[in-house]
Structure 1
Amino acid sequence: MTTPASPQASPPDLDQPLRLHPLTYLDEGEEVTVGRADIDSYGLFPPDGAALLRRLEGGEPPRAAAAWYTEQYGEQVDMAEFIEVLAELELLAKDGEKVAQPTGPVRWQRLGRAVFSPAAWVVYGLLVAGAVAAVIRTPALMPRYQNVFFTHSSLVALMLGIVLGQVPWILMHEAAHALAGRRLGLNSSLSIKRRFYYVVFETALDGLVSVPRRRRYLPMLAGLVVDVVVTSGLTLGAAALHDASGTAGLIGRLLLCMAFVVVMRIAWQFYFFLRTDLYFLAITVLGCNDLQATARQVMRNRVMRVLRRPGSMVDESTWRERDHQIARWYSWLMVAGYGFLTLILFTVAFPSGIRVTEMAIHKLTHDFSALNAADVFTFLVLNFFEPVIALYLAIRAWRSRDRTKRATAPAAPAA
């Protein structure tokens, strides 16, 4: 069966000016980031390519701009291919499409500036200092795993404190990233994704590539800042209720439980290979663009060399020099990290899951009642919903890639 070819777009008239959307430029020496802030579409151009694009944006026809480029740099430019790249990045206005209007102030920009104002930093510092002083005065407030078991009366209450009790702090973490970006006038979006067998919330700040590197650090670290402040606030709240009995004592223990889990999320950020906040901070400091993808391809090429399959190797000429340089050692760190998490999965996660299931069944068999049955069932659902969601997201991603491969596969020749 033959597949009809899609209609080809008509070649651009090289003697007519192009219609370009409003563009932003960030010159970083060897590369210039150019893109559209309204849809967060950006590309890396060499300085001479950015200069050529500026002339096109200024209204110069492509043929005349190409002649200028040859005169200026002593090289020919394939203008049709250059225009194709602009179209792929959606920098060109299509036929019948209106040119985008320059973006104005984004929502919540004032709030972002207030949250990270000098006065706010003073408040954050006082909270952290107060929490440190409280822990020194009362060592029992120190985050420790025993704090997780803040109640023994109900398995559901225990899981609600651990799982659902983290939802507001996770949202505050991501909101901090978004507000730090909005403070700079950048758009942001929140999504649910998977990191190995973890389910995570992720704030997209693609527009960060359009601001100088020194201004990217706060949006990347804003979530960690909030985590430290939240831990301090929960510790101070628990300190106020320390040694209390009844409901007040239970609330104090719940606060310590939530503080410990937040501390564990802070530690999780050091798993660079899961593309955490600290990973993005590191690649910004190191001057990399897509270190993770390059490291995967470096490792793939190593495996293909061992298997003597050079035809399956990735073309190394497509890698940025800085990414390749760092990926040589980072790829081994990435493999070690995934190996460590796999070890944790089989030595801690699986045994822990079996243990809590045994606890639930033990409680049910020794005192079967409708209340206990509901308690145990809800506990098991809350305990296992994250790995189930992670598995679902993995299967969905695999199916999506499979559909993409089939859609881009060449059509079978006609019989």
Structure 2
Amino acid sequence: MPAPVDLTGLETRFDVARVRVDFPALHQRVYDGRPLVYLDNAATTQKPQVVIDRIRDFYTRENANVHRGVHYLSQQASDAYDEARRLVAAFIGAPDPAQVIFTRGTTESINLVAATFGRQRVRAGDEIVLSTMEHHSNIVPWQMLCEEKGARLRIVPVDARGVLDLEALERLLNERTRLVAIAHVSNALGTVNPVQEIIRIAHARGIPVLVDGAQAVQHLKVNVAELDCDFYCFSGHKVYGPTGIGVLYGKAEWLEAMPPYQGGGDMIERVTFERTTYNRLPYKFEAGTPHIAGALGLEAALIYLDRLGREAVIHYEAELLRYATQRLQEVPGLRLVGTAPEKVSVLSFVIEGIHPYDAGTLLDQMGIAVRTGHHCTQPLMDYLGLPGTIRASLALYNTREEIDVLVDALLRIQKLLR
């Protein structure tokens, strides 16, 4: 359980009731008029009105393709798209906007690195190091690469709390290790991994590191320059932005050396039937018409988050997690899965005698949205000996009252299923 947070005076800087007004999806009613309690934020977050408005405004006033036209709308769209990239770079502390590649999400970002950087560097007998808690999106691309190249995965274990074994990590690294790919935050456990220390350990041996930040950027301040990571990726839809847009940050020297991921328009400098020369960064990795509206929506989401005050949000979520952890322990037979000292707003749990799917279905009928199952972390669930968990994941717009509703519902379910 996280240490108590001193919230003295914070109420004047973060008003959750006011924040909730900004999210229209939170105010709907489901199943016999029950108010929606949305606790599936690790899967995707709801969108503030400013994000919805920005996307609408683009399609109603600026819609044109970027970097191709000389007419007014194309220039407006291009300028807005390029500004979105600059804003994203500033948000994550990237030294240069050219190091920010727009993708469809974390999954495509990892696949891009595996298909380019990975294919360049990995040979038969080489190794890629992952952790037990990785999402399938940070397992399968490397597995496919290893199968193609005759390489193998090495896996860093976690303890019963969900804490990564750093000593085991150090023992696994050797002259055949070509990459460490690690989650900043576990989507199934909420564990915050010590990625700066992991990067330091790997870099001391000349090994690059990719960080999966899909569950981190909405909860933590991320500065890729300070982390010194080689690659960092995240998805817009988990940080209050649109679906279908994501980010890959990479160090310039790696991105310059990597071949293009796809061929097509905008990633070229010149094309003949004999040969093609490629565009400069970041366009080399952005073939075809990009998700322009998605990039602008992501920009609006990050501006919104900044204006709320990152420190205020972090402290509020820490307090909410502390409260939820305490309340859930009042449910007889409930066991939390993932109790690392450093964690964010993910509460995975099992209840004795109740299958997670049954609990999730009944919670849904009570208007409460949670996630049940393996959470795209089947190797972790196998390691823990579980078929899956119930996961309540919190965001900046959730409240203590919603936690109370969840706990009351779980107590009712226990009575129903006795």
Same fold (TM over 0.5): no
Please state which structure has a larger fraction of its residues in strand.
Answer: 2
TM-score bucket of the superposed structures, by smaller chain? under 0.3
**Structure with greater Cα Rg:** 1
What TM-score do the two structures reach when normalised by structure 2? 0.22
Please state which structure has a larger fraction of its residues in helix.
Answer: 1
Q: Which fold has the larger relative contact order, with Cα–Cα distance below 8 Å and residues 6 or more apart in sequence?
A: 2
